């Protein structure tokens, strides 16, 4: 087995629910030792369904490859344990409101006194460096989607705007945070200096608006939901077939000619209304209607086979059951099964980081609450068995027997 890319990196994960844990899980997939700090009640997401034999599948899905240290930070002895851990770690990740870590005495300015080289990453709704009235404003993913403008361009055409089907604000923030951490680690290798990372969920989603901002700045238009349609390329959307739906991104004139040939509609190529992408987009409504009339007469499999033979991009709109049984995703280990202690077998998404020497990997299931408390205190902090037993008795730490 090749050495993991981040096998020499230790991460202290104060994250809860999704954004912070996602950033930490990315680093864990890439080999970092990630120690998830939890209160005695556990990460909030341990109480989110669905449940498998009493264990949260939600929590399991974003906390694999980690260790769990359950500690009472309201006690000085608990804070002392964490400070000793921070002194020998590389990265801190937290996604509380900006004032929470300050109240715990574990804000960046305090932690860098303990460990000047620490990479300290914070994820919040509107950022730590922001206007005063935004600093402690609570933010959930749905608020970030709405505030950023992301929700305003998501939904059916002429319909209600909608939240994306997953908590994309949290997930994007987690991924961008992980990228910043990797860059900061590289910078520290060059200079020896740690730094602070200030990741905002709203910032992350504004970054994903693609061409919506420039469309507005160039034309003055207000982008609105278009369903599956692309605002400036036609045809580029989902169509109904006899038994399902296919997406067809016909992105240039060469593909347009192949597409027309596949439909046995070569006359469309010479139709002045559809001569260029700009004209096809201007006449989108009539063109889409014409295409839909043809595609609706045969099955998705028929059209996929034909389009692929002709070199026309296409793809099915897969429901989740088809995703988890997809042979290529299974081959690429993007759908994996793990044995979760106390819960049994669980199917979840694999690691998307495919590299020839140091790929991401699902090595271990999510930990039970306090499962690694003894191990971490003994092997990392250097506590004796007697010290650990005393801390358990004082209710400073919680450890699985």
pLDDT digits (tens, 9 = 90+) for 160-218: 999 999 999 999 999 999 999 999 999 999 999 999 999 999 999 999 999 999 999 99
Q: Helices 253-262 and 300-310, interaxial angle, to 10°?
A: 130
Q: Does 281 lie in the same domain as 178?
A: no
DSSP string, 227-279: TT--SS-SSEEEEE-SSSEEEEE--SHHHHHHHHHHTT-THHHH-GGGSSHHH
Task: Dig out the tokens for 31 from the structure.
Answer: 């080999």
Last residue of a domain, one of 290, 316, 342: 316
Residue among 71, 72, 69, 124 at smallest CA distance from 93: 124
Question: In the block, which residue shows the tokens 């389009």?
Answer: 307
The answer to whether residue 68 sits within a structural domain is yes
Is 73 part of any domain? yes
Q: How much of the chain is in helix, strand and coil states, percent to nearest 5? A: 40, 15, 40
In 244-393, beta strands by DSSP E: 245-249, 315-316, 335-340, 344-349
CA 20, CA 95: separation in Å to the nearest integer?
5
Find out whether 69 and 376 touch, Cβ atoms under 8 Å.
yes
Per-residue CA distances from 69 to 105, 177, 185, 372, 398 (Å): 19, 22, 24, 6, 8
Query: What is the distance in angstroms between the CA of the first residue and the CA of the last residue of the chain?
Result: 31
pLDDT average, residue stretch 44-72:
97
- 227 occurs within a structural domain: no
Confirm whether 251 is domain-assigned.
Answer: yes
Residue in 65, 72, 84 with CA at minimum distance from that of residue 24: 65
Catalytic residue positions, numbered: 170
Same domain assignment for residues 386 and 340: yes
Same-domain pairing of 256 and 394: no
* CATH at residue 256: 3.30.1540.10
| Whether residue 34 is found in the same domain as residue 145 | yes
Same domain as 118, residue 266: no
Is residue 19 located within the same domain as residue 129?
yes
pLDDT in tens, 336-394: 999 999 999 999 999 999 999 999 999 999 999 999 999 999 999 999 999 999 999 99
**For residues 390 and 394, what is the distance between their CA atoms, to the nearest angstrom?**
6
Q: Is 48 helix (H, G, I), strand (E, B) or coil?
A: coil
Return the residue matching tokens 């590299």: 355
Query: Cα–Cα distance between 193 and 184 in angstroms, integer?
Result: 9
Range of the structural domain that residue 263 is part of: 236-240+245-316
Closest CA to 197 of 75, 355, 90: 90
Determine what percent of the chain is predicted with pLDDT higher than 90.
96
Short-list 256, 244, 234, 258, CA closest to 302: 244
Q: Are 62 and 25 in contact (CB under 8 A)?
A: yes
pLDDT band (50, 70, 90) for residue 98: confident
Does residue 231 lie within any of the structural domains? no
Question: What is the C-alpha separation between 352 and 359, in angstroms, rounded?
Answer: 9
- The last residue of a domain, from among 316, 335, 354: 316
pLDDT > 70 fraction of the chain, expressed in percent and rounded? 99
Does 38 have pLDDT greater than 90? yes
The answer on 153 and 297 residing in a single domain is: no
pLDDT digits (tens, 9 = 90+) for 245-272: 999 999 999 999 999 999 999 999 999 9
Examine the domain organization and report whether 57 and 98 are in the same domain: yes
Yes or no: say if 89 and 118 are a contact pair by the CB < 8 Å rule.
yes
- For residue 215, being part of any structural domain is answered with no
- Contacts with 356 (C-beta within 8 Å, 6 or more apart), sequence order: none
Find, among 13, 73, 28, 128, the residue nearest to 391 by Cα. Answer: 73
Q: Mean pLDDT of all residues in the chain?
A: 96
Nearest to 380 by CA among 26, 18, 34, 25: 34
Read off the pLDDT band of 138 (50, 70, 90): confident
At 164 the three-state DSSP class reads coil
> Mean per-residue pLDDT for 281-309?
97
With 60 as the cut, is the pLDDT of residue 111 above it? yes
In a domain, residue 226? The reply is no
pLDDT of 1 above 70: no
With respect to residue 220, please indicate whether it lies within any of the assigned structural domains: no
Residues 34 and 68 in one domain: yes
Domain boundary among 299, 316, 333: 316
Size of the chain, expressed as the number of residues it contains = 401
127: preceding bond cis by omega (within 30 degrees): no
Q: What total number of domains does the chain contain?
A: 2
Nearest to 39 by CA among 381, 400, 398, 368: 398
Average pLDDT over residues 10-36: 98
Are 124 and 178 part of one and the same domain?
A: yes
Same domain? 83 vs 182:
yes
pLDDT exceeds cutoff 90 at 135: no
């Amino acid at each position: 087995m090749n050495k993991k890319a981040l096998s020499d990196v230790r991460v202290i994960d104060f994250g809860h629910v999704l954004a912070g844990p996602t950033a930490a899980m990315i680093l864990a997939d890439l080999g970092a030792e990630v120690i998830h700090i939890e209160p005695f009640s556990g990460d909030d997401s341990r109480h989110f369904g669905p449940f498998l034999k009493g264990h949260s599948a939600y929590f399991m899905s974003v906390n694999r490859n980690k260790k769990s240290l359950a500690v009472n930070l309201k006690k000085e002895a608990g804070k002392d344990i964490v400070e000793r851990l921070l002194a020998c770690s590389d990265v801190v990740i937290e996604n509380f409101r900006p004032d929470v870590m300050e109240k715990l005495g574990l804000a960046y300015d305090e932690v860098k006194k303990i460990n000047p080289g620490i990479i300290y990453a914070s994820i919040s709704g509107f950022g730590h460096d922001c206007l005063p009235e935004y600093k402690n404003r609570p933010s959930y993913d749905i608020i970030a989607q709405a505030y950023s403008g992301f929700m305003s361009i998501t939904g059916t055409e002429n319909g209600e705007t909608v939240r994306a089907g997953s908590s994309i604000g949290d997930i994007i923030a987690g991924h961008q945070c992980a990228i910043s951490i990797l860059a900061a680690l590289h910078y520290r290798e060059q200079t020896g200096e740690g730094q602070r990372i200030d990741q905002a969920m709203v910032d992350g989603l504004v970054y994903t608006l693609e061409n919506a901002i420039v469309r507005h700045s160039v034309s003055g238009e207000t982008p609105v939901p278009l369903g599956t349609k692309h605002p400036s390329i036609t045809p580029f959307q989902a169509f109904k077939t006899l038994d399902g739906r296919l997406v067809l991104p016909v992105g240039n004139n060469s593909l347009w000619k192949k597409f027309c040939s596949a439909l046995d509609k070569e006359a469309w190529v010479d139709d002045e209304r559809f001569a260029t992408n700009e004209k096809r987009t201007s006449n989108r409504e009539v063109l889409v209607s014409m295409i839909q009339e043809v595609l609706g007469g045969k099955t998705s499999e028929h059209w996929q086979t034909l389009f692929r033979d002709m070199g026309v991009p296409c793809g099915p709109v897969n429901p989740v059951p088809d995703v988890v049984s997809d042979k290529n995703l299974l081959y690429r280990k993007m759908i994996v099964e793990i044995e979760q202690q106390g819960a049994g077998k669980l199917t979840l998404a694999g690691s998307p980081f495919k590299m020839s020497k140091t790929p991401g990997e699902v090595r271990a299931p999510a930990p039970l609450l306090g499962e690694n408390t003894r191990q971490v205190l003994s092997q990392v902090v250097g506590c004796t068995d007697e010290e650990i037993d005393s801390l358990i008795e004082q209710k400073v730490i919680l450890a699985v027997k």
